[in-house]
Amino acid sequence: NEAISRNFIEQIIDKDIEEGRCETVCTRFPPEPNGYLHIGHAKSILLNYGLAQEYHGKFNMRFDDTNPTKEKVEFVESIKADIEWLGADWEDRLFFASDYFDQMYEAAVKLIKKGKAFVCDLSAEEIREYRGTLTEPGKNSPYRDRSVEENLELFENMKNGMYQDGEKVLRAKIDMASPNINMRDPVIYRVAHMTHHRTGDKWCIYPMYDFAHPIEDAIEGVTHSICTLEFEDHRPLYDWVVRELEYPHPPKQIEFAKLYLTNVVTGKRYIKKLVEDGIVDGWDDPRLVSIAALRRRGFTPSSIKKFVELCGISKSNSSVDYAMLEYCIREDLKLKASRAMAVLDPIKLVIDNYPEGQTEELEVDNNMENPELGKRVVPFGREVYIEREDFMEEPPKKYRRLYPGNEVRLMNAYFVTCTGFEKDEDGKVTVVHCTYDPESRGGNSPDGRKVRGTIHWVSAADAVKAQVRLYENIIDEEKGVYNEDGSLNLNPNSLTVLDNCYVEPSLLKAEKYDSFQFVRNGFFCVDAKDSTSEHPVFNRIVSLKSSYKL
Ligand code: ATP
Ligand code: MG
Ligand code: MG
């Protein structure tokens, strides 16, 4: 049933179109350039962009840069790059709220002239005291009844830099007895002698969010201004602003629940601390869920899109298991990623009956499930590396891999039978010996003989040494998110660096962000920051097995 499967935002928009409240749809994504975007922002971006597409409407990219204290050009650039990467195309609709400072000033003057705003000399603390509480109404400011003329003059003085920060503010004149505290004569302009990243020192007064945002939306012709639940209480003020300013096509604010994820850190404050303390390698450390980190880890835009779709749009807060994000990337890469052989914990296997000095090339499928990915050539020779755990001197029952006397398949290559092994003085196995069956080339024997184990390998003569990084969740929520002192309870095993891995030589051609399925070990991606052709570095995106079931 189409009507039921539409989310509540689509239902609101459908009705607005049906009842003629709007003709086209225009949405926006309005980040403040004060940090990096994270997976929660991705949800908002894809929601707004997706609605614009669905209704053949417009999608505005707008920097909400009305508060110069925390904003930086660095963040503007990173935010743009992240949104482009996600595939939300704003075309020529890139806006900066700071471009509207003149119009916002004029809007404030209009309110003053209507008797709907006044300049107030109370200090921030006094304003708080006068505001009242949830159970107690507020008190009118003694400056509330200033004349329109006086307010116009004082507001102009504010603009002209005649006052210190905090000396005067402009407030909307609404209702100090309103049950909604946001409606108790909220501050709409403040004095702040600060240099803005775009307007420089042109302004020393800046509009407050609740005043600026509806104006930005109205100027741009936004029809549906989608934000998160904490703004629900601000909606009456949003509506008051667009009504009093008499915009012919008032935008409508709609709230939805924020996306929260388990076992990761999303709070900006905490991430900043992890970065500063050197616990993570910058804002794009692959254990984080900033968009830059997810990209570096090897997530794809389509996996993130799939994830936010699965999460759905809701009116109540809840958190989603990180394993669901892993499920989405696994599904996405299953058919797209080429397979490759990589040995993470190597031990040498010598095939004693393979002619010395001989090598050969085996042609193998890049992805058995997707023939479109073609084939590649893998070198094979007398000595190969296998995983240390694929050999056991004394195997337990049901162990199907190499042990003395057992025959297994070297994936895509030959059957080999273990004939012995060597140890160093500490008793550690250093070399495993075997013989191969030349008739079993390609991995099957003409006599129909079966083997029960298949292991991967890399030709020792051609292997490329690589670093591989394995990740676990940075927080193990079962043990608690916070310690007693309020610090984060970090998982000490969130990063494992393996420096002694061997990968097949075809991987030397891999480029930054390329991803592969390393057979039996998971999906991996070339680390964009640290990988070089001399020292390739791979991040494990996700293991092959899932704890998550749809
Ligand atoms: P944070 O403090 O985590 O950076 P924010 O709300 O300060 O979040 P903004 O830059 O103000 O971030 O937000 C840009 C847009 O992204 C807003 O419309 C906001 O509602 C939305 N957004 C932020 N966090 C989430 C989230 N966790 N889930 C969904 N949308 C979010
Ligand atoms: Mg923010
Ligand atoms: Mg914010």
Distance CA 142, CA 125 (A): 15
- Tens of pLDDT, residues 350-399: 999 999 999 999 999 999 999 999 999 999 999 999 999 999 999 999 99
528 annotated among ligand-binding-site residues: no
Output the residue whose Cα is nearest ligand 1's atom 26: 40
**494 half-sphere exposure, CB direction, 13 A CA radius:** 19
Domains of the chain: 2-256 (3.40.50.620), 274-338+463-550 (2.40.240.10), 342-456 (2.40.240.10)
Distance CA 51, CA 6 (A): 12
135 annotated among ligand-binding-site residues: no
Model confidence at 317, pLDDT cuts 50, 70, 90, reads: confident
Percent of the chain with pLDDT over 90: 90
228 annotated among ligand-binding-site residues: yes
- Tens of pLDDT, residues 3-36: 558 999 999 999 999 999 999 999 999 999 988 9
Compute the average pLDDT of residues 49-57.
Answer: 98
Please give the model's pTM, rounded to 2 decimal places. Answer: 0.93
Residues with CB under 6 A from ligand 1: 30-32, 35, 40-41, 43-44, 227-228, 258-259, 268
More confident residue, 68 or 548: 68
Percent of the chain with pLDDT over 70: 98
pLDDT at 51 over 90: yes
Report the candidate in 256, 254, 251, 243 with the shortest Cα–Cα distance to residue 222.
251
- Out of 228, 238, 265, give the residue to mutate to test ligand 1, the one with the largest number of ligand atoms within 8 Å of its CB: 228
Q: Give the strand order in the sheet containing 415-423.
A: 454-455, 407-410, 415-423, 429-436, 346-351, 383-387, 458-459
Report the candidate in 26, 16, 192 with the shortest Cα–Cα distance to residue 95.
26
Model confidence at 508, pLDDT cuts 50, 70, 90, reads: very high
Nearest-ligand number for the alpha carbon of 30 = 1
Model confidence at 504, pLDDT cuts 50, 70, 90, reads: very high
pLDDT at 546 over 90: no
- Quote the distance between the C-alpha of residue 85 and its chain's center: 11
Distance CA 100, CA 98 (A): 5
Orientation of helix 39-54 relative to helix 301-311, angle to 10°: 80
Q: What is the mean pLDDT of the chain?
A: 95
Ligand 2 midpoint to CA 450 (Å): 60
> Which residue in this structure is represented by tokens 């390609």?
442
Report the candidate in 166, 167, 170 with the shortest Cα–Cα distance to residue 153.
170
pLDDT of residue 480: 81
Output the residue whose Cα is nearest ligand 1's atom 13: 31
pLDDT of residue 248: 94
More confident residue, 504 or 482: 504
33 annotated among ligand-binding-site residues: yes
Give the lowest-confidence range in 15-24, 185-194, 262-271, 498-507. Answer: 262-271
pLDDT of residue 483: 87
pLDDT of residue 327: 95
